[in-house]
Amino acid sequence: EITANIVAAVEPELSQAEMLAVAQKRPENLNSWELYLRGLANMPAYGRRRAETKRLFEQSIEADPTFAVAYAALAFCYCADVYAQRADDVDAAVATMFDLAKKATAIDPRSFRIYLVLCMGHILKGELKQAVEAGRKAIELNPSSAEAYQILALALTHSGAPEEVEKCALRCLKLSPID
In this prediction, residue 177 carries a pLDDT of 84
Exposure on the CB side of residue 177, measured as CA atoms within 13 A:
8
What pLDDT digit, counting tens, does each position of 135-154 carry? 999 999 999 999 999 999 99
Burial class (CB in 10 A: 0-12, 13-18, 19+), 25: middle
Reported confidence tier of residue 44, pLDDT bands at 50, 70, 90: confident
Residue 125: the pLDDT is 93
- Mean pLDDT for the stretch of residues 64-85: 94
What value does the mean pLDDT of the chain take? 86
CA-nearest of 125, 66, 67, 70 to 93 is 125
- CA torsion sign, 140 to 143 to 147 to 149? positive
Burial class (CB in 10 A: 0-12, 13-18, 19+), 169: middle
Q: What percentage of the chain exceeds 90 in pLDDT?
A: 74
pTM, entire model: 0.80
Taking the C-alpha atoms of residue 83 and residue 50, their distance in angstroms, rounded to an integer, is 13
Query: Is the pLDDT confidence value at 72 over 90?
Result: yes
Q: What is the mean pLDDT of residues 87-107?
A: 96
